[in-house]
Amino acid sequence: MAQLWGGRFTEATDRSAYEFNASSSFDKKMYREDIAGSIAHAKMLGKCGIISPDESEKIINGLVKIREDLESDALHITDEYEDIHSFVESVLTSRIGDAGKKLHTGRSRNDQVALDMKLYTRNQIKLTDKSLKDLQKTLFSIIKANTGTYMPGFTHLQKAQPVTLSHHMAAYFEMFIRDRERLKSIFERMNSCPLGSGALAGTTYPLDREYTAKLLLFDRGPTRNSMDSVSDRDYLIEFLSALSIIMMHLSRFCEEIIIWNSNEYRFVEIDDRYSTGSSIMPQKKNPDIAELVRGKTGRVYGSLISLLTTMKGIPLAYDKDMQEDKELSFDAMKTVNDCLREFCGMLSTMSFNSRAMEESAKQGFTNATDAADYLVKKGVPFRDAHSISGRLVLKAIEKGVSLDGLSLSDYKEESDVFEQDIYEAISLQTCVEKRITFGAPSRESMEKIISYYEDYLKKEEEFDKKQL
C-alpha cells in the first residue's frame, strides 16, 4: 500500500479500510491533469528558489517521461497506490531519487486534487461544447432544407397550428445555444487556480501563485481564499446542472422522435444503423438509441442530486466526503458526451416523411385559428369568430372531413361573412406563410433566423480557433 503519509501511525491501515478509502481506481482518469499541475508546481518551485534549478529540471523531465510511459502503456496505474497523486510521486521518486521527494513542497493533496478536478472539468466542458456544436451543425442542415416542409405544431400533444419542420428543429437549436452559453459561463467563472492554497491555510513558502495560474491557463489568476479553494465544488455542481439541462433537452427531442417514429405518425424513419430489432417479433424496428438517451437522463440527474446532497452538510474546509465528487461526475460527463455523439449520428441519418407530416397537419384542424382570423379581418369580434370557428370544426368532425372539405354553404350557415376566398385563407401554405412575425414559422421569418444561425456558427468557429 503506497501512501504519502504514515509517520505518526504505528499500525498499517486495515486492508479493507484502505480499499474503501482509496481512489486510484477512478481518479487515475486525471493522470494528465495531475502531471500537468505537478510540472507547473515544479517550475514555480525552481523559479522561486525553493528547490534548485537542477532539481526542478529533474522533476519536470521525470514527470514528462511518466506521462509518455502512461500514454504508450509502458506504465500502468495499479491498486497498490492510494490515489493518482501517490502513484505519480512514488514512481517519480523511484526514478529520479530524492529530488522526487521535493515535488510536494508547499503543496497539499487538498489543493492538488482541487486543481486536478478543475483542469479535468475544464477539458470536459470544452469536449461537451464541441459535441453540442456538432449537433447544431446537423440541426442547421435540417433547418435550412425544410423551410417548406409543413407539419402540425402541438400543444398538450394535440395538433394545434401548422408550422414547418424547419421551425420545429430551430426550437431545439435555440435550446442548444443556451446550453453552450451556460458552458461558457461556467468555464469563465471557474477559471481561477487553487494551487498554492495548501491544505486550507496557504503555506509559509514564498510561492508565486500568479505564475502557476498563468502556466495552467487560468485567466482569472489564483483563487482568493485558501479555505474556499480546497473545498469549492460549486463549479462541478454547475457543470452537472448544465449537463442535466442538456440531457433534458435531448430527452424531449428523443420523446418526439419516438412518437414520430411510431406507426401512427410515420413522420420519420430512423436509419437501420441506429435501430434494433426484436428477438421474437420479426417485424419490429425499435428506436433504441432515442430510448436509451431518454433513459440515461435520470442517471445524469442522479449525479447532480448526489453531489448536492454530499456537499450540503460539509463544514469548511476539506473533508473526505468530497472524494465522492469524482465517480459520479466522471460518469455524468461520459454519459452526456456518449449521448450527444449517438444522438447526432441518429439525427444525421434519419429521414423525414414530408407527405405524412403535411397530411397530418391538414387532418388535425390546425387551420381553425386561421378561419377565426379570417372573420376578424372582416370585422367580426374575435370572441364571436372563435365560437364560429369552433362550430365549423364540430361540423367537419360530424362529416368526417377537414375544414377545407366543408362546402361554402356549410360556412355560410355559420356566418354570411364567409366567401370563396376562405379556402385560400385556410390553406396550409397560407396559414404558415402569413405568419411573418419575428420568430414565426413562415419562410420569410425563418430565412432571417437561418442567416442568424449561419453567423452564429461562423463566430463560434472563430472563437474555437482563438481558444486553441
Shared domain for 198 and 304, answered yes or no, is yes
- 201 in any annotated domain: yes
- In the three-class reduction of DSSP (H, G, I as helix; E, B as strand; rest coil), residue 193 is classed as strand
Cell of 324: 465522492
* pTM score over 0.85: yes
DSSP 316-346: SS--GGGGGHHHHHHHHHHHHHHHHHHHHHH
- In the three-class reduction of DSSP (H, G, I as helix; E, B as strand; rest coil), residue 276 is classed as strand
The separation between CA 262 and the C-alpha centre of its own chain, rounded to angstroms, equals 27
Composition of the chain by helix, strand, coil, percent to 5: 65, 5, 30
Shared domain for 332 and 281, answered yes or no, is yes
Residue with cell 474546509: 317
CB 239 within 8 A of CB 186: yes
Shared domain for 331 and 400, answered yes or no, is no
Cell of 84: 493518482
Cell of 457: 456558427
Structure confidence at residue 5 (pLDDT): 47
Query: Which residues of the chain have a pLDDT value below 70?
Result: 1-10, 13, 18, 21-22, 463-468
Shared domain for 241 and 260, answered yes or no, is yes
The whole-angstrom separation of Cα 208 and Cα 216 is 13
Q: What Å distances lie between residue 253 and 152, 170, 343, 349, CA to CA? A: 16, 12, 10, 15
- 152 in any annotated domain: no
CA angle 379, 380, 384 (to 5 degrees): 165
- 131 in any annotated domain: yes
How many independent structural domains does the chain possess?
3
Shared domain for 101 and 117, answered yes or no, is no
Shared domain for 93 and 232, answered yes or no, is no
Cell of 193: 487556480
The whole-angstrom separation of Cα 287 and Cα 276 is 7
User: 351 - beta bridge partners?
Assistant: 269
- 217 in any annotated domain: no
Structure confidence at residue 26 (pLDDT): 78
Length of the chain: 468
Of all helices (H) and strands (E), which one includes residue 351? Answer: strand 351-352
Shared domain for 21 and 73, answered yes or no, is yes
Shared domain for 24 and 63, answered yes or no, is yes
Shared domain for 384 and 400, answered yes or no, is yes
The reply to whether 249 belongs to the active site is no
Residue with cell 442568424: 452
Shared domain for 381 and 266, answered yes or no, is no
- 360 in any annotated domain: no
Four-CA torsion 68, 74, 76, 81, nearest 10 degrees: -70
The whole-angstrom separation of Cα 159 and Cα 141 is 26
Structure confidence at residue 468 (pLDDT): 42
Cell of 247: 440531457
- 27 in any annotated domain: yes
- 454 in any annotated domain: no
Looking at residue 100, which CATH number applies to its domain?
1.10.275.10
The reply to whether 275 belongs to the active site is no
Shared domain for 310 and 264, answered yes or no, is yes
Looking at residue 418, which CATH number applies to its domain?
1.10.40.30
Catalytic one among 25, 94, 278, 451? 278
Shared domain for 317 and 422, answered yes or no, is no
Catalytic one among 156, 279, 351, 409? 156
Last residue of a domain, one of 426, 444, 462: 426
Q: Which domain holds residue 401?
A: 368-426
- 453 in any annotated domain: no
Minimal CA–CA distance to 354: which of 457, 425, 260?
Answer: 260
Looking at residue 302, which CATH number applies to its domain?
1.20.200.10
